[in-house]
Structure 1
Amino acid sequence: MVRLTRAQQQERTRAAVLAAAREEFAERGYADAKVDRIAERAELTRGAVYSNFPSKRALYLAVLVDSIEHTAAAEPPSPPGLAAALSAFARVWLERLPLTGDTPAGGKLQLRSLAGVFDDEPGRTALAQLTRLEALLLALALEPRAPHHTRRVRLAELVLTLLNGAGHLADAAPGFGDPFDVTLACEHLAGLDLADTWNPPHLPYVSPARPVQDAWEPPARLPDQITAHPAGFDADGVIAVLGSGRLEAAEEAVRAARPGDRITVAVVTSDPAELGRLVRLRIGDLTGCLRRVFAPDAWPGLRLVLDDHADIASAIGIPDIDDTTEAAVRIRAGKIVARAAGRGAAHAAATAG
């Protein structure tokens, strides 16, 4: 008889809970699913479920995260041009739409619907910030295809608005709307002149980063959510630690970066089980689409790391984190040479001398 190690047993238990939860959510939906029934399906105790997932919401998010980690194989990169890229991205994104014959609960799971899951202020704030970060990531992939490589964040926001609107309609009224029409509409959005500029009014008033000469001991490599490869922390550049309520500040580092800088955003949260999984779900979903549409050399140059255990935050000397955390450092020649904290910290570190 083969004895399982404690870690192996825990992984087996977790897999059983996820499989049972997937069945329960697919049959009954999030609102009507019960943890007791999930435990019964998995032939485990209620306590065993809660020892792996602290809430039904955390368990639902874990099921969705697990589903995006088994995405389809990469497709050939889309042809050059902004319109072609938007068309290809829309086609991949719209694959999640439920079919007319799907059950309501099964369709929501297929759609990765969060309707009714986050109705509290921290969750709504995180979702708003995540949507801004998603738009930035999509824009960074589109901008090399745009004339003069101009900013395309407003275009990305409009595309995501259209696609998410199609998703919400498919959730509420299955079968309504034609995905081919939505794809064509996204393609035509490339021709809009949205007069997109980058000029946040608060940035001229941000305090400069503080010059330092501190030792830099990078944490163990964590996966980069964009490339799915380990993220290295030894290159010169900027590391910004942002709470789930301040993710929009990522663009402040990106736009202020110097040629050759590596920009890394480490996302932290006070609630890894729920808000942390929400970040992992939404970013994993978006970057999974990007990897299927764009060739690797066109992926966003930003490095994005989910710092669930605050390893990066601790390494750069941030003692306390919460969802409003905003701090950044500049790394040069293996040392921390500038520090900034508070609103505008990412911009301050990126522009530090």
Structure 2
Amino acid sequence: MVRLTRVQQQARTRAAVLAAAREEFAEHGFVPAKVDRIAERAELTRGAVYSNFPSKRALYLAVLIDLVEKAAQEEATVSPDSPADALGVFARVWLERLPLVGDSAPGGRLQLRSLDGVFEDGHGPAVLAQVARLEALLLAIALEGGAPVRRVRVAELVLTVLDGAGHRAETAPGFGDPFDVAHACRHLAGIDLGDVWAPPHLPYVAPALVCADAWTAPRGLVDRISGEPVDLANGLVVVLGANRLGAAEEAVRAARPGEQVVVVVVSGDREEIGRLVRLRVADAVGCLRKVFAAEAWQHVRVVLDDGELVASALGVTDIGDETESAVSVRDGVIVARAHGRGAGHAAGARRREATS
């Protein structure tokens, strides 16, 4: 008889819970689903379920993450010739999640990655708005292709159209033609939205503190965009709480051309808010990587710092959903620090001054 180690047993139990939960959510949906039935399906106790997932919401998010990450294995198979072509292909990839007319409503919602009824309390909706801004930034960077033009507003509009199509499919399955939606998204590339980068608060951001602090960067961190290890010895590193993700663009726009920008995401609630961010980032990147090669994001990296390794190494003590802190690193030495609103902009601007 083969004896399982404790780690192996935990992994087996967790896998059983996830499989049972996926069946339960696909059959009943999130709100009507019962943890007791999930435990029964997995042939485990209710306590065993809660020892792996602290809430039904955390379990639902884990099921969606598992679904999304398994579906995001494909790399780019096309090479768009223009932003319009890229948006058309991206829309078609995104719309593949739409359920068919004959699919059950709960199963269709699971396929849609629906969060309807999941975050009706707490600050989940506010975090979703911040994650959406990060998603739009990632799409925009790929569309910009390094050119001195901002396409964030177009990216936001495209994501709004696609989210609307998903909601319509959830409430009125079979209505509308996905090809029409993709065609419309393609043409959004030609709309002039007067998109400029000029946030009114940036001139009032306190300057970064110049320093010369040696530091040992944590190892084993992975860029969620490319899947490759991240080197934190050079560049701009900005640590953002889940409720401050919209500030990622401040760091990206402040960086020197070609300078690496690492967006490190932390959360005060790893089990639910942390999982929510991971789900949305994985879903967005999974779609983007089917359209664009990793090189499309040039110098931008995204790290989900669930263990708070980067934040702790940088000396950030108030780690939570409102965290906003940044450093400029050169050859393993921190040469500038900033904390609070506008930190990424301040650290990036200080580095530009020092190298100009």
Q: TM-score, normalised by structure 2?
A: 0.96
How many angstroms apart in 1 are the aligned matches of 2:35 and 2:80? 47
1:246 aligned counterpart, secondary structure: helix
Aligned partners of 1:109, 1:55: CA distance in 2, in Å?
A: 18
Q: Which residue of 2 aligns with 1:135?
A: 136
- 1:80 matched to 2:78? The reply is no
Which residue does the alignment assign to 1:6?
6
1:270 Cα deviation after fit: 0.6
| Contact 1:290/1:299 (<8 A) preserved | no
Q: For 2:268, give the aligned amino acid.
A: S
- Aligned counterpart for 2:346 among listed residues 342, 345, 348: 348
Alignment of 1:1-353 (within 5 A): 1-71=1-71, 73-144=74-145, 148-234=147-233, 236-299=234-297, 301-352=299-350, 353=354
- Deviation string for 1:236-263 (max 9, x for gaps)? 2111010001001100000010123110
C-alpha distance in structure 2 between counterparts of 1:73 and 1:51, whole Å? 33
Q: 1: CA distance between counterparts of 2:214 and 2:121? A: 40
Aligned residue for 2:238, secondary structure, equals: strand
Distance 1:10 1:121 in 2: 30
Tell me the distance in 2 between the aligned counterparts of 1:248 and 1:324.
11
List structure 1 segments (4+ residues) > 4 angstroms apart after TM superposition: none
- Give the secondary-structure state (helix, strand or coil) at the position aligned to 1:225: coil
Tell me, in whole angstroms, the C-alpha distance in 2 between the residues paired with 1:258 and 1:194: 25
Are 2:225 and 2:294, in contact at CA under 8 Å, matched by a contact in 1?
no
Scaled by the length of structure 1, what TM-score is found?
0.97
Q: How far, CA to CA, are the matches of 2:231 and 2:2 in structure 1?
A: 38
Q: What is the Cα deviation at residue 233 of structure 1?
A: 1.4
Percent identity over the alignment is 65
Determine the C-alpha separation between the residues in 1 that align with 2:222 and 2:323: 21
Structure 2 unaligned blocks of 5 or more: none
Q: Which moved more, 1:136-145 or 1:177-186?
A: 136-145
Q: Could you report, residue by residue, the CA deviation over 1:158-179 in whole angstroms, capped at 9, with x for unpaired residues?
A: 0000000000000011111110
Offset at 1:300? 5.4
The one-letter amino acid paired with 2:82 is G
- Structure 1 residues 84-93 or 255-264, which shifts more? 255-264
Shift of 1:2: 1.2
Q: 1:208 to 1:309 in 2, by over 3 A?
A: same
* Structure 1 SS opposite 2:289: helix
2-side partners of 1:92 and 1:102: how far apart?
19
Task: Name the SS for the 1:211 alignment partner.
Answer: strand
| Counterpart residue identity of residue 85, structure 2 | A
Secondary structure class of the residue paired with 1:69:
helix
- Once residues 15 and 327 of structure 2 are traced to their aligned partners in structure 1, the CA distance between those partners, rounded to angstroms, is 39
Structure 2 residue identity aligned to 1:53: F
Q: CA deviation at 1:191?
A: 1.1
Greater displacement, 273-282 / 296-305 = 296-305
CA distance, structure 2, for counterparts of residue 231 and residue 279 of structure 1: 19
Structure 2 counterpart SS, 1:96? coil
CA apart distance, 1:144: 1.6
> 2:165 is matched by which residue type in structure 1?
A
C-alpha RMSD of matched pairs (Å):
1.1
1:309 is displaced (CA, Å) by 1.4
